[in-house]
Amino acid sequence: MWSKMWGRGVALLITMVVSVTVAVLVMPSQALAQVTAAKAAPTRTARWVNWSQYGFDSGLANYNPFETTISPANVARLKLGWSFPLTGSLFNPTPSPVLADGVVYVAISIETPTSKGMSSYLYALPERGCVTTCHPLWKAAMQSSATGVVVANHTIYAPAGNILYAFPEGRCSGWCQPLWTFTLPNDTFAYAPTFANGIIYIGSLSGTVYALNGSGCGHTTCTLSVTSHVSRIAHITPHSSAGNLGQVAAPPVVANGFVYVGYVNGTIAVYKARGCGQVVCTPLWTASTTGINQFLSAPATLVVSQGVIYAVDQYSQNTMNNVFAFPAGGCGKSVCPFIWSTKLPYIRLMPPAVANGVIYIPTSDDYGDHGTLYAFPVRGCKVTCRPLWHSSLDMGYGQVSIANGVVYVGNFNKTPKYAAFPASGCRNVVCAPLWIYSLPGHNGDNPYILSPVVANGTLFISTSTAILNAFHL
C-alpha cells in the first residue's frame, strides 16, 4: 500500500520544514555572473497569489501568508466547485499542483498496458471559470514518471524520470513542446524541484543534488557534457565521510544561504547555496536522526524555522524518538547533535508544515486507519518538547498546508476525508476540526492525498481518483 502510495522506493526518510528567506545560487563562479536574480519567493500580483512550487516557496514550509478569503470563521462553508477527473490508473501519486498567474499546473503518470508501463503528462488548467468539471488550456507529454512542477522565470519546469523539461509560460496551446530539456546520464530525478535565485535545485535517486541554471544552457538539449556548457550546470554530492547516504529523500530546502538535503538513511547534509567554487561540493556539516533503516516510500520536506532544523524520522520503531531539532547554522563541528528530541506514538510521521511559530506534524499508523495531528512550538523546548495541542479526529493523516489561520490536512484510507483545523488551537489540548469533507471511495489501494494548495479563495487537492479537486466558499 505505502510503497505504491509514494512511488515505489526504499527509504528511511527524514522531514524538515524551513520557513525563512530564499538563498542564492549553487554554481561555479563563471556561471554565477550569468544567472539572473529571479526568485521563487512568495509572489502576488494585482489579481493572483502564486503557489508556484512544492511547499509554496523555497523554504517548503507549506504556508501561504497572503490568503485572505478562507478563514477559521468561514472554512466550514467550503464546498466542491469542480474536478478534473482521472481516466486510467495512476502509476504513482499525482505530485501536488502549483499555481501561477491564474493557471493551475499538475503533472501525472498513468499506467498503460504497453511494455513501457506508463505515460506522463503535464496539464495547464484555468484557476477560475470552471463549473463542475474542467478542461485543460494545454497539455504536454513527458517520458517516465513525473515528480513535480515549479513555475519561475516565465518558465514551467517539470522533471520526469531522468529528464527535466522547461516549457514556456503563457505561450502554449494544444500540445506544448519544451523550450529545452536537461538529461541526466544513468540517474533519475527524485521528488519536486526547488527554485531560488534563478537556480533549480533537484535531488536524484543516486544521492546527488543538482543545481541547474534556470535559463538552460543555450541549446534545446542540455547535459553534463562539456559541449553543453557544463560551467552553467553544477551538482552537489555527499562527502564520502558522511557514509552511504543513498537517494535524496526530499526536495532540497534553500534558506539563509544554505541548501539543506535529507537522505534516506536519516542523514541531513548542509551545503553552501552559492556552491564551493568547484563543480562538485562536499557538505559543510551533517546531522542524523537515530532511526533505523526500514522499507518506506514517502517524501520528506526539509524545513528550518528561526534558526532550527526540524527533522521528522518518518518510519521508526515505536520505542524510538522520531522528532528532532538541530541548529540550522551548524555547531562548529562536522557532525552536529540534536538540540532536543521527542517521540510521537505513531510509526509514520508525514511532512510537517510551519507558520507563525508553530510546527504541525501529521502522524499515522502503518495502514492509514489511525493517527493524530500535533502542533509544537518553534521556540522554548529543551532536551524534549511537548505539543501545544493535537487533533481529536482519529485518522491516518497525510500532508499539511496552512493559510490564513487554517490548517488543511487529509487522510488516505479507503473512506478518505479532508479536514481543516484552527491553526492557533482551540483553548484546549485536544481540538476538533472546523470542517470535514468525505472524498469518493477508492477500490484497491488507499487513495493518495498529497499536499493541499490554498490560494485566492480556493483549496486545490490532488488524489488518486481525480487529478485535481477545487473547493471554494
CA dist list (Å): 320 to 94, 313, 344, 369, 371: 32, 10, 9, 21, 17
Determine what percent of the chain falls in helix, strand and coil, rounding each to the nearest 5: 5, 40, 55
Domain interval for residue 312? 2-472
Domain at 437, CATH number = 2.130.10.10
Q: Across-strand partners of 293? A: none
DSSP class of residue 396? -
pTM score of the predicted model: 0.86
User: For 412-445, how does the pLDDT look when each residue is reduced to its tens digit (9 = 90+)?
Assistant: 665 678 899 999 999 899 999 999 998 765 544 5
Burial 113-128 (b: 16+ CB within 10 A, else e): eeeeebbbbbbbbebe
Q: Say what percent of the chain tops pLDDT 70.
A: 74
Nearest to 54 by CA among 161, 192, 219: 192
Neighbouring C-alpha atoms within 13 Å toward the C-beta of 369: 2
In this model, does residue 230 exceed pLDDT 50?
no
In this model, does residue 201 exceed pLDDT 80?
yes
- Strand arrangement, sheet containing 180-183: 150-152, 155-160, 163-168, 180-183, 221-222
pLDDT band at 322 (very low <50, low <70, confident <90, very high): confident
Q: Cα angle vertex 380, ends 379, 382, to 5°?
A: 120
User: For 446-462, how does the pLDDT look when each residue is reduced to its tens digit (9 = 90+)?
Assistant: 555 667 899 999 999 88
Q: How many domains does the chain have?
A: 1
Give the H or E element holding residue 323: strand 323-327
pLDDT band at 466 (very low <50, low <70, confident <90, very high): low
User: For 162-190, how does the pLDDT look when each residue is reduced to its tens digit (9 = 90+)?
Assistant: 999 999 999 999 999 999 999 988 888 88
Interatomic CA distance for residues 109 and 442, integer angstroms: 18
In this model, does residue 33 exceed pLDDT 50?
no
Interatomic CA distance for residues 408 and 452, integer angstroms: 7
Interatomic CA distance for residues 193 and 201, integer angstroms: 6
User: Please, what is the average pLDDT of the chain?
Assistant: 79
Nearest to 198 by CA among 34, 35, 28, 60: 35
